[in-house]
Amino acid sequence: MQRDSQCDGTQRCCRHSCGSTCSEPTDLLTIPGLPALPTIEEPKEKKRSVVIRWSDGVGDAARAVPGPVFYVLEEQHHLGPKYEEMRLGEWNLLLRTNKTKVSLRNALKPGRWYRFRVAAVSSEGTRGFSAPSSPFTPRRGPRPPPSPKKLKVRPVRENNGTVTVRLEWKEPHSDLPVLRYKVFWSRRVKGLGGELDSVLVNHQTVPKDQNYIEIKDLQPNSMYFLQVQTISQFGLGKLRSDKASIFYNTTSTGRFESPPEPLQKRDSKKIRGLSLQKIVWYNGKIKARIAWQPLPSVYEQPGRYYVHWKAIKCHNPKKIRREGLTAITEDTTFELYELNYRCIYKVNVNSTPRLKSPDSELTVTVPGCEYFKRRVGNTTVVNCDEHN
């Protein structure tokens, strides 16, 4: 080393017969006119902020400082559920202030351990940074990562009667770094009841720095259900996002080696691919998950969908509501709620609130209570008398 800037803190580059080393000035703590060395307190978390205080020095040394004094606050941190000093990173500038107290809001990320230090600086110079604070981590732990964003499918090629497509997505903003992605795809076929079921679910892991995958050997003239999941690691455990999903029909695969731009620019606003995924019973309530393809414009920006469902026929006529129910979502999946046994529902998903000319339509038939009783098994009591 040859320059003072290569040394840490207040150390200076000192040359001697064996070369040079970084050393602390011998008279730094006794030079008059410099601000006193601050003493930083233990950080405290209050509601949604972290408060850090420090002393401005005591005695004659603090009172004798001419002119204003500014404070430089730095932090170092590492990711993990347990504090390990050896894993702490470099010191980073957090802020400069003329106060001896700061309130940090949204500046610290969950799942990290932090240490802070502060230096007092005047026109005369500084005595360096305080001793580091005690380790601190926010009370709220890291949440599972969000789902990948802006899924889209591009046709690539046809070969020997099969189709290859490229599934792309955007990395989500997360409390934790992405460890990897997991991609699922399945061919959808109609079951005996008219619902769409998967023949076989395939999956593949994708590295964290790759936001796409080529999926080969897809059957032509088929509907496929594709999903992508974000996986992060915290300590020894893994946190997984919900799966972002998209339908893709290989029948529409007409041109290859380039994205189908004409379809994405001025296609009609009709919702396509509306289908029933599954009907579930849980704790006495029935829900039905539906899914559909995103509008072409939604590939570039978040969309809004208006879901409306209404019972049109029930074994018990008292279960039929006059207006039905409506919900708004930005996802391309939704769980219909407040469903009743042995009812037939008409479901619409629209790009606008208007219902006169719906963009899509689906009929969902809810089986009787005995059907769910067989599916749930003997582990859960299903009282059919109360709901039929």
- Mean pLDDT of the 271-295 span: 85
Count of CB atoms situated within 10 Å of the CB of 209: 8
- Of all residues in the chain, what percent carry a pLDDT higher than 70? 82
Our measurement of the distance from residue 175's CA atom to the centroid of its chain's CA atoms, rounded to an integer in Å, reads 7
Tokens of 157: 């090629």
pLDDT tens readout for residues 6-22: 776 677 788 877 878 88
Which of 123, 132, 142 shows the shortest CA–CA distance to 80? 142
Q: Are 21 and 11 in contact (CB under 8 A)?
A: no
Domain ranges of the chain: 31-129, 149-258, 275-376
The pLDDT of residue 29 is 67
DSSP code, position 4: G
- Which residue, chain included where needed, has tokens 């399945």? 186
- Same fold yes or no, 31-129 and 149-258: yes
Q: Does domain 31-129 have CATH number 2.60.40.10?
A: yes
- Tell me whether residue 168 is exposed, middle or buried, using C-beta atoms within 10 angstroms of its C-beta: 0 to 12, 13 to 18, 19 or more: middle
Up-side HSE of residue 71: CA atoms within 13 Å toward CB?
A: 23
Which of 24, 127, 35, 142 shows the shortest CA–CA distance to 81? 142
CATH for 275-376 (3.20.20.120, 2.60.40.10, 3.40.190.10, 2.30.30.700)? 2.60.40.10
3-state secondary structure of 120: strand
The pLDDT of residue 298 is 41
Task: Tell me the C-alpha distance between 193 and 366, whole Å.
Answer: 11
pLDDT tens readout for residues 129-171: 888 999 999 988 888 999 999 999 988 888 878 899 999 999 9
Count of CB atoms situated within 10 Å of the CB of 155: 21
Task: Tell me the C-alpha distance between 335 and 281, whole Å.
Answer: 12
Check whether 294 has a pLDDT greater than 60. Answer: yes
Tokens of 153: 């499918």
Task: Tell me the C-alpha distance between 141 and 202, whole Å.
Answer: 32
Give residue 63's identity as a one-letter amino acid code: R
pLDDT band at 355 (very low <50, low <70, confident <90, very high): low
Task: Tell me the C-alpha distance between 154 and 255, whole Å.
Answer: 10
Q: Are 286 and 339 in contact (CB under 8 A)?
A: yes
Count of CB atoms situated within 10 Å of the CB of 112: 18
By residue count, the chain amounts to 388
pTM for this entry = 0.54
pLDDT band at 93 (very low <50, low <70, confident <90, very high): very high
Give residue 185's identity as a one-letter amino acid code: W
Say which CATH architecture domain 149-258 belongs to: Sandwich (2.60)
Check whether 68 has a pLDDT greater than 90. Answer: no
Bridge partners of 239, per DSSP, are 232
Residue that wins the pLDDT comparison between 89 and 301: 89
Which of 73, 74, 104, 100 shows the shortest CA–CA distance to 88? 74
Which of 214, 220, 202 shows the shortest CA–CA distance to 158? 220
